[in-house]
A and B are shown apart, each in its own frame.
Chain A
Amino acid sequence: MALPYDLILLASIVFAVTFSLTYLLTLTLVKTLPKRGSVVEDYHKPERPKVAWPGGPAILSSIIIVEAILYLIYGDLRILSIALVTMIAGIIGLIDDRWRLSNGMIKPLLLILASLPILLLETYVPYPEFPIFGHVRLTTVYPLLVLLAVPIVSNATNMIDVLNGALSGFIVIATIPLVFALMLKGAYNMMVATLPLIASSIAFYIFHRYPSKIFPGDSGSLALGATFCSIAIVGRVEIVAIISILPAILNSFFILSSIKGFIEHRSIKTRPTILLPDGQLVASKDPSAPTTLVRMILADGPLSEREVVSNIFKLSAFSAFLAVITALVIWCV
C-alpha cells in the first residue's frame, strides 16, 4: 500500500517533535531532580546508586501536547480522548509517586476515572473486530470492558517496570503492531496519533536503559499503559493490542494470582529475585515469593540485569509477531 506524501510528512514531524520534547524534558529532569533530592535507590545493583525519579512528567506532557496539537489539526474526538486518558492516568501516577497510595485497591479504582473520557466523548465503537468472525455486537458489555481495560492495562505496564529500560523498551515493541494494524485498516489519523507513544518511549528509553539515569515512576508507567489502552479502544484494534501486550498481562496475572489479590507491589514482603554480590540476579526459591515474569526468566539460573531485559524484549517481540499475524487474520483473511 502506498502512503500519501502528506501523511508521511506529518507522521515524521509528529515523531520528531514528540521525540525531541521527551528527550529534552527527560534530560532536564535527569539534571534537576537529583538537586531537589527526588531520587530513589536502584535495588538491582550492588552499589545501589541513586537514580532520578519520576520521569513520568516528561513522557506524559510530551504525549499530551502532541496529541492536543493533532486534535486541533484533525478535529478528531478520538485523539482528544487519548490525550485526556493519558493526562488523568498520569495525574493519578503523579499522586502515587508523591504520596504513595498504600492500599493496593485504590490505584485500580482511581484508574477507572481515566477510562471516562472514552465513554463521555463516546469515542468507542461497541463492535470489536475479531479474527475470522469480524465485527461482533457487544453494546451492553463493551462500556463495562472499557471501564476495566484502562486500569488493567495500566497496572500491567506498571508491574513490568522493574528493571532498567524494561518498560520503555517493552512499550515501543508492543505498540508497533498497533501502527501496523491501523495502517492495514486504513485508519491513518489513528496511526499518526499512535506515533507519539512510540517516539516518547524511544526518547525516554535512551535515559532509562541500563544503567538508568532516570526511572519513569508510576506517573510514567500508568500514563504509557493508559495511552496504549486508549489507542487500542478508540482505534478499534483491541484484539491486536491484547495479543501484543500479552507478556505484561501474563506477568500481572501471574503476580496477582500468586499473591492472591491486589496488593501494592511495594508492600510485597518476599522479593521474587535475589541480587548476588557480583551484580547478577537469581530467582528466589521461596514458595511465598510472587511469580513474576523476571523470576520465571531467571528460573534456569542467574543472569545480569541487561540479559533479563533483553529476554523480556525477545518475549515482547514474539508477542508482537503474534499480534501482527492476528492483525493479518482480522483484516486480510
Chain B
Amino acid sequence: MNSRILPLMGIIGLAWALVFLGFYIIFGLIVPFEPFPENDYIFAFLNSLFKVVLSAILALTWIMIMIGLRNLYIKRKLSA
C-alpha cells in the first residue's frame, strides 16, 4: 500500500466513523430527548426546535473537524 494515501484514507475513514457516530447521537440521543412536556403546541414546537438546533450544531461540529483535519494535513505537508 502506498504510504502517501494512508493519511487520506485516515481522513475518509474518520469522516465515515463520524457520520456513524453522528447518526447515533442524532437518532439515539437527540430525537428521543424531550426536554419540555409535550402537552401543548408551544412545548411540542420547542422540542422540535431544540432537536433541530442540536442536530445543526452536530453537523457544524463535523464540518469543523473536517476543516481542522484538512488544515492540519496541509500545514504538516505543504508548509513552505
- Interface residues, chain A, with chain B CB atoms under 8 Å away: 130-133, 136, 242-243, 246-247, 250, 253-254, 257-258, 283, 285, 291, 293, 295-297, 299-301, 311, 314-315, 318-319, 322, 326
Known A132-B23, A132-B24, A246-B15; judge A299-B5 contact (CB<8 A): no
CB distance from B21 to the nearest CB of A (A): 11
Q: Are the CB atoms of A300 and B9 closer together than 8 Å?
A: no
Question: Complex Cα distance A299/B73, Å?
Answer: 9
Residue B8 CB within 8 A of the other chain: yes
Question: Complex Cα distance A300/B80, Å?
Answer: 13
Q: Are the CB atoms of B2 and A314 closer together than 8 Å?
A: yes
The 5 A-B residue pairs whose C-beta atoms are closest, nearest first, are: A299-B77, A300-B4, A133-B27, A322-B16, A285-B80
Residue B12 CB within 8 A of the other chain: yes
Residue B35 CB within 8 A of the other chain: no
Contacting A at CB under 8 A, from B51-71, are 63, 66-67, 70
Chain B residues closer than 8 Å to A300, beta-carbon distance: 4, 77
Question: Complex Cα distance A296/B27, Å?
Answer: 34
Chain B residues closer than 8 Å to A285, beta-carbon distance: 78-80
Question: Complex Cα distance A258/B9, Å?
Answer: 20
Chain A residues closer than 8 Å to B16, beta-carbon distance: 243, 246, 319, 322, 326
Question: Complex Cα distance A222/B11, Å?
Answer: 26
Q: Are the CB atoms of B12 and A291 closer together than 8 Å?
A: no
Which chain B residue shows the least CB distance to A249? B15
Chain B's interface size range is 20 to 34
Question: Complex Cα distance A254/B74, Å?
Answer: 11
CB distance from A248 to the nearest CB of B (A): 11
Q: List 27 A-B contacts (CB under 8 A).
A: A131-B20, A132-B27, A133-B28, A136-B27, A243-B16, A246-B16, A250-B66, A253-B66, A257-B63, A257-B70, A285-B78, A291-B70, A293-B8, A296-B70, A296-B74, A297-B8, A299-B4, A300-B77, A301-B4, A311-B2, A314-B1, A314-B5, A315-B5, A318-B13, A319-B12, A319-B16, A322-B13
Majority secondary structure of chain A interface residues (helix, strand, loop or mixed): helix
CB distance from B57 to the nearest CB of A (A): 16
- Interface residues, chain B, with chain A CB atoms under 8 Å away: 1-2, 4-5, 8-9, 11-13, 15-16, 19-20, 23-24, 27-28, 63, 66-67, 70, 73-74, 77-80
Q: Are the CB atoms of A296 and B13 closer together than 8 Å?
A: no
Which chain B residue shows the least CB distance to A134? B27
Question: Complex Cα distance A136/B13, Å?
Answer: 24
Known A133-B27, A291-B74; judge A242-B19 contact (CB<8 A): yes
Question: Complex Cα distance A253/B23, Å?
Answer: 20
Q: A293-B8, A301-B4, A314-B2 are in contact. List 15 more A-B contacts (CB 8 A).
A: A247-B12, A253-B63, A257-B67, A257-B70, A283-B78, A291-B70, A291-B74, A295-B78, A296-B8, A297-B5, A299-B74, A300-B4, A315-B5, A319-B12, A322-B16
Chain A residues closer than 8 Å to B27, beta-carbon distance: 130, 132-133, 136
CB distance from B13 to the nearest CB of A (A): 7
